[in-house]
Amino acid sequence: SEFAKIEQIVLWKWEDDQLPDLPKNVIVRKWFPQNDILSHPNCRLFITHGGIHSLIESIYHGVPMLLIPVFADQVHNAAEAMRRGFALYVPYFELTAEEFSEKLQTILQDPGFDVAAAKASSIMLDNPMSIMDTAVFWIEYVIRHKGAEHLRTAVNDLYGFQYYLLDVVAAISLTLAFVLYFNYIVFVYAKKKLFRKTDRSKNL
């Protein structure tokens, strides 16, 4: 196991907590209090798929990440985290033991990841109000303004086919079909004219 090569204790969330041949520094459980662990000052690294909730919790607590995205927004989240300097990532379907070990060691040994994670956390936490106060303010704001109609996005007033631009797609498709059909008619007409001229030449 690549985890045996590091000195840190590894907490691994997995459906089967009876995995064989585990290194002594690996603890497997079906569930861990993720947010509490990330808040611990000794937490050095978070290995995750890159879902938005895990990403936010990790940034909030200033913990560098090794991301293994699988689908949907995870790849974009992982790329953005790496761009900001507090994470590395490798797509799940391209993962190898060698690359995993290399990236794991890089993050643990390079203090630049800790600095970048701390900076991202500082930016997230630097707000004029706490998260609870912000939530209370906006709930009361919407109540005061009777639903806050002025903040509603215009998307709410669109039909489904408009939201997904199906009307635009249909118009473009019909135009393209008409152009192709017109070109086909011209081609057939020109072909017939050409054959007629060829037949006349042979008859002469």
Q: For 132-141, write each residue's pLDDT tens digit.
A: 999 999 999 9
- 78 & 45 share domain: yes
- 109 & 50 share domain: yes
- Position 52 scores a pLDDT of 93
User: Is residue 28 included in any domain, yes or no?
Assistant: no
Ranking 30-39, 95-104, 176-185, 188-197 by mean pLDDT, the lowest is 188-197
Put simply, whether the predicted model's pTM sits higher than 0.85 gets the answer: no
pLDDT digits (tens, 9 = 90+) for 109-124: 999 999 999 999 999 9
- Tell me how crowded residue 108 is: count the other CB atoms within 10 A of its CB: 17
- 44 & 115 share domain: yes
User: Is residue 16 included in any domain, yes or no?
Assistant: no
Domain carrying residue 198: 161-203
User: Distance between CA 75 and CA 54 in Å, rounded?
Assistant: 14
User: Is residue 141 included in any domain, yes or no?
Assistant: yes
- Position 20 scores a pLDDT of 83
Exposure string (b/e) for 41-74, b if CB count within 10 Å is 16 or more?
eebebbbbbbbeebbebbbbbbbbbbbbbeeeeb
Ranking 36-40, 141-145, 146-150 by mean pLDDT, the lowest is 146-150
- Position 166 scores a pLDDT of 94
- 106 & 88 share domain: yes
- Position 201 scores a pLDDT of 62
Average pLDDT in the chain: 91
CATH for 95: 3.40.50.2000
User: Is residue 54 included in any domain, yes or no?
Assistant: yes
User: Is residue 66 included in any domain, yes or no?
Assistant: yes
- Position 15 scores a pLDDT of 87
- 50 & 117 share domain: yes
- Position 203 scores a pLDDT of 58
pLDDT band with cut points at 50, 70 and 90 for residue 202:
low
Q: What is the mean pLDDT of residues 29-49?
A: 95
- Position 204 scores a pLDDT of 57
